[in-house]
Structure 1
Amino acid sequence: MATYITWSVVVLYMALLCCVCDARVHWGKRGGFVGTEGSTFVLNGSPFLFNGFNAYWMMNVATDPTERMKVTQVLQDAANAGLSVCRTWAFADGGYKALQISSGAYDERVFQGLDFVVAEARKYRIRLILSFVNNYEDYGGRPQYVDWARKEGVEIRSDDDFYTNCIVKGYYKNHVKRIITRINTITKIAYHDDATIMAWELMNEPRCQVDYSGRTINDWVQEMASFVKSLDKHHLLEVGMEGFYGDTMSERKKINPGYQVGTDFISNNLVKEIDFATIHAYPDQWLPGQNQDSKVAFMQRWMWSHYEDSRTILKKPLVIAEFGKSTDYPESNINTRDSYINIVYRNIYRMAKTRGTVGGGLVWQLMAKGMGSFSDGYQIILSENPSTTSIISEHSHAMSTLSHVLKLRSQNVPLEKDHSSW
């Protein structure tokens, strides 16, 4: 992997020292919340860049105290690899190990599993992005909410009534309030006061089949974003979008992978209460039958078009919130996965280095040993995949160093010339 940047030993030392000091001094109850200034993430007044990961399963596993060491192991391994942000679910609606058994009814045992995840993340200084609900039926999600309403006699036409029916929207708001106002049974800190949480996510990959323009979801985002901010003004908020373009910029629809999903990357993220934009990217699934070069080319276009729109139109930070490479496809293996992740990291670094805007990426997904039931082809076990771990660690170091170099620049500290080969 190419060297990202060459700086003097003194500058590197200062940067690392700043990092250690910031972590120790500012990780308090009300201090150290990640914020934004324009299209840049900031922490305690300084630029904040990161490398992160997805681990959606954490609450589910932590519900069983005998399995909690798997959460601890992944967080420990992630911290050792320099990963500092984790995105995970704060929902499980109906079904097995449900957090929300029925609308408004919660299993305290499962909630304490989420408490453990937040407390352990705090211990390893990993910040969390917590998602409130799923678009899909996995872990209940949008279909479960409308089914609860249907069983109460509410007239429901389709799952898309989730976005418009006042009863269903009330169910969702109740859940959001329950999460945000939760007092952690381990740390004794209310979630809305805990700087361990970097951001809330309205929904994992919202989609709407009855309105491809993006307007239905836009109205829902406006309403729910305002509601979240009325409860919590400390934390950042994002929608949870994949990045599909809608009617706002019709010429951008050609960037989509041949179809729309009812979202509008521009208008949905222009809602003022939304603090940063996200994209997901799965060319293996979105572009079946195409070769690897075509998929990589798509990924490059996908990232750079959203980077430009975030920088020039939204004027908000962008996170590559889900990306990965499955080894389950016939043409894929560990080497192709490593190469793909490396390409994505190179793009993230270039974007962060040139004009900011892209704050980091979250690879899908990290797991611990003995979690075969959660395997989806994308899983990475850091202790068993040294080549992938090396790539992840190097990118973490590069983003951390760049973050602190930008901090020194903002303080007008003289730096050596950037000799980056990128």
Structure 2
Amino acid sequence: MKKIISRCAAALLFCVASLTFAADNKKVDAVNKADFFTTNGAHLSVKGKNYYVVGTNMWYGGYLGSSGKVGDRARLVKELDNLKLLGINNIRVLAVSEKAEHNSAVHPATTNGFGDHNEELLAGLDFFMAEIAKRDISAVIYLNNFWQWSGGMTQYMSWIEGTPAQDPNVTKDWEGFMAKSASFYQSKKAQTEWRKTIKKIVTRVNTVTGKSYINDPSILSWQLANEPRAGNSKASAKEKEIYVKWINDTAKYIHSLDPNHMVSTGSEGLMGSNNDEKLYSDAHASPYINYMTYHMWIRNWGWFDKAKPAETWDAGLAKANEYLNVHIDIAKKVNKPLVLEEFGLDRDFGSYDIKATTHYRDKFYRIVFDTLYNRVKAGEAIAGYNFWAWNGSARTTRANYWWQTGDDFMGDPPQEEQGMYGIFDSDISTILIIKEYADKMHAIPK
């Protein structure tokens, strides 16, 4: 009898200890809903005050955070310190990449096949998140990619169909590539497998902090993908309908996993929506999409010719100003905040050399920042910006400027020449403009 009582007492003590431990853990991971980002009409908000995104893109943050051979935690800490000094309060970062065999994709990948994830790289994202939290920087974490440089949607379809993923840098068949990428939305197998990955990331517990991602207030939003499109330039009405439904259904699924964070699309805006305002508006009208996004690439879209900058500047800038402003007007109609989360321009005459001048880029940055700053200050629907992208201390020794496995990671992804759009830590004139407008944005009354 005494042994039975002793066992019961021991069991009781064990239960009490377990409950105490669980309660303590719960306290560690306890959250205050006011600490999470939300929306207030056409404004982003946190802790009851308006929040203005003053950000950059650093897709490779999780890579640098890895403790493996591809990581460089000392560099990551240095880059984040420098960005904080510049006034950056938000970084847009890639969550996962998919293993692709072509040269335009990053290697190694986070996902080597369905259900086969590189824990070392996932832990790198954990380290990145822990470090930005120390600096009061928020993150937009995107969960897929329409383009091939991180594997993305076409790699899902490659795994399913058993055929090599197309590299449009080689084939030059961008229309065919976009059609294949958009077929991802209609594939039940792709959506099932992708949702498994979404769940793995969204419900992950950070191995550095012990805090679940769901309860991490440093996350501004989960983002469906980088630049998702309904299809190619000839996307049908049915394809557009499928795309809008995919956005709604996936965003709803993420919210079902994580009630604390916002969800965004990653859309380029009208240029990624077949110049169809209804499609762009419909894609963001979902109650599960909390704010709107757009990107702007005046050289990629043929508005500005890097070989003839003086001759094409005025016309290109006019189109840029119209594009900047028309999206703010659309966001006002939809009554949701809007973020310009990608924009950039080459170094002068399209040079990739770090020593090349940035006269036109600097003019472009100043005009974009000034246009957005004035409309933010006026209380309109625009909630800020992320420039593309931060190269920081990265350097390339390649004579052709193309990235190869083992090279420094920089904001210019592997599908582009290294140094095309990214801002190096030696680009002093551009950095001074970034800092000037960051200070102005932070000074706007909340």
**Normalising TM by the smaller chain, what interval?**
0.7 to 0.9
Q: Structure 2 regions of 5+ residues with no counterpart?
A: 1-28, 101-106, 164-178, 306-311, 397-402, 404-409, 411-417
Residue matched to 2:287: 272
The question of 1:74 aligning with 2:79 is answered yes
The question of 1:321 aligning with 2:341 is answered yes
Runs of 4+ in 1 over 6 A off after TM superposition: none
Residue matched to 2:432: 390
Change (3 A) 1:293 1:221: same
Do 1:212 and 1:246's aligned partners in 2 also have CA atoms closer than 8 Å? Answer: no
Change (3 A) 1:175 1:376: farther
Change (3 A) 1:223 1:401: same
* 1:62 to partner: Cα distance: 2.5
State the SS of the aligned residue for 2:299: helix
Give runs of aligned pairs for residues 237-248 of structure 1, distance below 5 A: 237-244=263-270
Residue matched to 2:44: 41
Q: Relative CO higher for 1 or 2, CA cutoff 8 Å, sep ≥ 6?
A: 1
The question of 1:197 aligning with 2:223 is answered no
Residue matched to 1:126: 137
Residue matched to 2:103: none
Residue matched to 1:301: 322
- Output the TM-score relative to the length of structure 2: 0.76
- What is the distance in 1 between the residues matched to 2:358 and 2:67? 31
* 1:71 to partner: Cα distance: 1.6
The question of 1:176 aligning with 2:219 is answered no
Do 2:338 and 2:383's aligned partners in 1 also have CA atoms closer than 8 Å? Answer: yes
State the SS of the aligned residue for 1:390: helix
Do 2:264 and 2:290's aligned partners in 1 also have CA atoms closer than 8 Å? Answer: yes
Change (3 A) 1:263 1:122: farther
Do 1:87 and 1:128's aligned partners in 2 also have CA atoms closer than 8 Å? Answer: yes
- What is the distance in 1 between the residues matched to 2:236 and 2:267? 14
Do 1:55 and 1:366's aligned partners in 2 also have CA atoms closer than 8 Å? Answer: yes
Do 2:53 and 2:339's aligned partners in 1 also have CA atoms closer than 8 Å? Answer: no
Change (3 A) 1:36 1:295: same
- What is the distance in 1 between the residues matched to 2:349 and 2:197? 38
Do 2:348 and 2:361's aligned partners in 1 also have CA atoms closer than 8 Å? Answer: no
Equivalent residue letter for 1:189: K
- Output the TM-score relative to the length of structure 1: 0.80
- What is the distance in 1 between the residues matched to 2:316 and 2:304? 10
- What is the distance in 1 between the residues matched to 2:67 and 2:210? 21
Find 2:358's aligned residue among 324, 334, 349.
334
Residue matched to 1:350: 374
- The number of equivalent residue pairs is 361
Q: CA RMSD in A?
A: 2.4
Structure having the higher Rg: 2
- What is the distance in 1 between the residues matched to 2:348 and 2:217? 37
Find 2:391's aligned residue among 364, 367, 374.
367
Q: Give the % identical residues.
A: 25
Q: Structure 1 regions of 5+ residues with no counterpart?
A: 1-26, 248-252, 408-422
Q: Which whole-Å deviations, capped at 9, do the CAs of 1:229-256 have from their partners, x for residues lacking one?
A: 1111111111010002699xxxxx7xx4
* 1:376 to partner: Cα distance: 3.8
